[in-house]
Amino acid sequence: MRWTRSLLATLRDDPQEAEIASHKLMVRAGLLRKLTGGLYTFMPLGLRALHKVTQIVREEMDRAGAQEILMPALQPAELWERSGRLATMGPGMFRLKDRAERLMALGPTHEEVVTELMSGEINSYRQLPCIVYQVQTKFRDEIRPRFGLMRAKEFIMKDAYSFDTSLEAADSSYQAMYDAYVRIFKRCGLKAQPVEADTGTIGGNHSHEFMVLAPSGEDGILYCPACSYAANQERAERQTDGSPYTASAGSPTEIATPGAHTVEEAAAAVGVKPEQIAKSLVYLADGKPILAVVQGTREINECKLRRFLGCTMLTLADDEATVKAVGAPFGSIGPVGVSIPVYADIGLKGAKDVVTGANKDGFHLAHVSMEDDVKVTAWADLATVVAGDHCPHCGKPLTLERGIEVGHVFKLGTKYTKSFEANYLTDKGQNELMVMGCYGIGVTRTLQAVVEQSHDDDGIIWPISVAPYAVTILLLDPKDEKVSAIAEQLERDLEARGLDVFMDDREERPGVKFKDADLIGCPIRVVVGAKGLAKGGVEVKLRTSKNVEIVPVESAADAIADQAAALKEAL
Ligand SMILES: [Zn+2]
């Protein structure tokens, strides 16, 4: 492809709304154009890179035995009613009505559609296991679309679904997909770390996310350098010795703390450290009030609390519901003497002298024993784990890193097959529910994650496997027929060796061409110009290196093809 014939324009300035490097670079390099918030057009170079990611995904899915299908993006909402997710998906799901007033959804995911499909297609254990996948546009009505393709309203996903006869058989499908994901991200040149993850609204009981480590990532990852435990902060667990405040100082004593509502204010008013406060919050778990308690310096982790309670909806109670549940508003709540269930974090275990709200506006209780004065329904690990907490496996301190989620694999069990009566006949002629797994890769997000992980101040540094073009030829003297002829012959020779080539044949100063080549970031840059030819050949340079090599014209195509092969090999 020649620049002069392509729909490519690079930009000198960063787009105003772009906050992270990959978003800025993809727009500046002419790969993406914004339609409106969260909606982007893939320009020719961007689409080429996207197709390469998609191709890798397809090859690895096929290799793992999955079969490609394509389901409708537009789905009847009644399917979501049957799974019980119409309510839990909330406003993030695009809903619309067709002309017959039938409620429809633009699919954010396809568990419902695929389970409905398979309930009709699969009858016998002989047809199992079965894994299907699709590469498709998905929709999510993000409150705040940002970071380009990272959090868009419309995006391309590869979603796969496995159907098996038993939990054990489903485990091998899960492992096959997990292994395929490891290969996919590696082939895309990404360092992706699998971490234990929360299952969220998808459901199921076991899942891993594949995280690309990047300071701009929206997810926190707790990592143990000693034993390699890794988990999303939404899910991460910890070991704790319990509370340091184990010496009793008498019975609960009411202290007036007018105007003290935050942990810091209460600690100052009572004269203790914030760690000695036991912070309480009222939640509605599927509509029923419960009280959760953690140390004042910690945050309650709503994902962990929801999972522990086994509820679908968990929301922080508003002031009215809080007063109704415990008799006092937010800021004065405490676990002593309440009639609703109390769930206490394990960090408070053994505490005999902590300060809590008194369930009376403007008062706190000092010298509260969590063991003796509070009727704890259950102790659980409910706090958000932070850097320095102890690894749940080996007890060593955890570190906190940031990551971009590019893939997610779930064991779903029979959650969906039950709703859709997706049965099969066993070899003994019995009717059993199929066991499911689901597996997603954000394809468009993966592409941007490559850029986020691989760039420098000058631009993108594409891994050769997903680069829009493997080679960019900078034709420095396009008006010189002899030089042009050499560049064009080299282009043909490289294409004959299976390499895709982009030629910058514009009438521009060399400096402009060098800058644009670095910005777009194709892995191999070849400069063909009268000056270089006089010195003995063409200049070959890798985007990752500063070394420029002069290669004689006759051997240039072979030398470049060898370099490309070495780059592929290194992935
Ligand atoms: Zn560990």
> From ligand 1's centre to the CA of 190, what distance in Å?
24
Q: What is the pTM of this model?
A: 0.90
> From ligand 1's centre to the CA of 397, what distance in Å?
8
> From ligand 1's centre to the CA of 196, what distance in Å?
13
> From ligand 1's centre to the CA of 195, what distance in Å?
13
> From ligand 1's centre to the CA of 254, what distance in Å?
42
Q: What is the dihedral of CA 329, 333, 337, 341, to 10 degrees?
A: 90
pLDDT by residue for the chain (571 residues), tens only, comes to 999 999 999 999 999 989 999 999 999 999 999 999 999 999 999 999 999 999 999 999 999 999 999 999 999 999 999 999 998 888 999 999 999 999 999 999 999 999 999 999 999 999 999 999 999 999 999 999 999 999 999 999 999 999 999 999 999 999 999 999 999 999 999 999 999 987 776 666 689 999 999 999 999 999 999 999 999 999 999 999 899 999 998 999 999 999 998 999 999 999 999 999 999 999 999 999 999 999 999 999 999 999 999 998 899 999 999 999 999 988 899 999 999 999 999 999 999 999 999 999 899 999 999 999 999 999 999 999 999 999 999 999 999 999 999 999 999 999 999 999 999 999 999 999 999 999 999 999 999 999 999 999 999 999 999 999 999 999 999 999 999 999 999 999 999 999 999 999 999 999 999 999 999 999 999 999 999 999 999 999 999 999 999 999 999 999 999 999 999 999 9
CA angle 271, 274, 276 (to 5 degrees): 80
> From ligand 1's centre to the CA of 236, what distance in Å?
12
> From ligand 1's centre to the CA of 232, what distance in Å?
14
Closest CA to 231 of 344, 345, 346, 389: 389
Is-contact 302 293, C-beta < 8 A?
A: no
> From ligand 1's centre to the CA of 238, what distance in Å?
10
The residues near 397 (Cβ < 8 Å, ≥ 6 apart) are: 387, 388, 389, 390, 391
> From ligand 1's centre to the CA of 394, what distance in Å?
4
> From ligand 1's centre to the CA of 197, what distance in Å?
16
The per-residue pLDDT for 199 is 73
Strands (DSSP E) found in 22-108 = 32-36, 39-42, 67-68, 74-76, 94-97, 103-106
The per-residue pLDDT for 312 is 84
365/326 Cα distance (integer angstroms):
15
> From ligand 1's centre to the CA of 273, what distance in Å?
30
> From ligand 1's centre to the CA of 433, what distance in Å?
37
> From ligand 1's centre to the CA of 337, what distance in Å?
39
Is-contact 38 530, C-beta < 8 A?
A: no
> From ligand 1's centre to the CA of 184, what distance in Å?
27
Backbone angles phi, psi at 62, to 5 degrees: -60, -40
> From ligand 1's centre to the CA of 274, what distance in Å?
28
To the nearest 10 degrees (0 to 180), the angle between helices 443-453 and 44-63 is 110
> From ligand 1's centre to the CA of 146, what distance in Å?
34
> From ligand 1's centre to the CA of 439, what distance in Å?
27
> From ligand 1's centre to the CA of 395, what distance in Å?
6
> From ligand 1's centre to the CA of 225, what distance in Å?
7
> From ligand 1's centre to the CA of 227, what distance in Å?
4
Which SS3 state, helix, strand or coil, does residue 302 take?
Answer: helix
> From ligand 1's centre to the CA of 222, what distance in Å?
10
Domains recognised in the chain with CATH numbers = 47-218+401-451 (3.30.930.10), 253-380 (3.90.960.10), 469-570 (3.40.50.800)
> From ligand 1's centre to the CA of 393, what distance in Å?
5
The residues near 546 (Cβ < 8 Å, ≥ 6 apart) are: none
For residue 526, give the H/E element and its range: strand 524-528
> From ligand 1's centre to the CA of 390, what distance in Å?
8
Bin 230: left if φ > 0, else alpha if -120 < ψ < 50, else beta: beta
> From ligand 1's centre to the CA of 224, what distance in Å?
5
The per-residue pLDDT for 186 is 97
> From ligand 1's centre to the CA of 340, what distance in Å?
36
To the nearest 10 degrees (0 to 180), the angle between helices 443-453 and 21-28 is 100
> From ligand 1's centre to the CA of 451, what distance in Å?
31
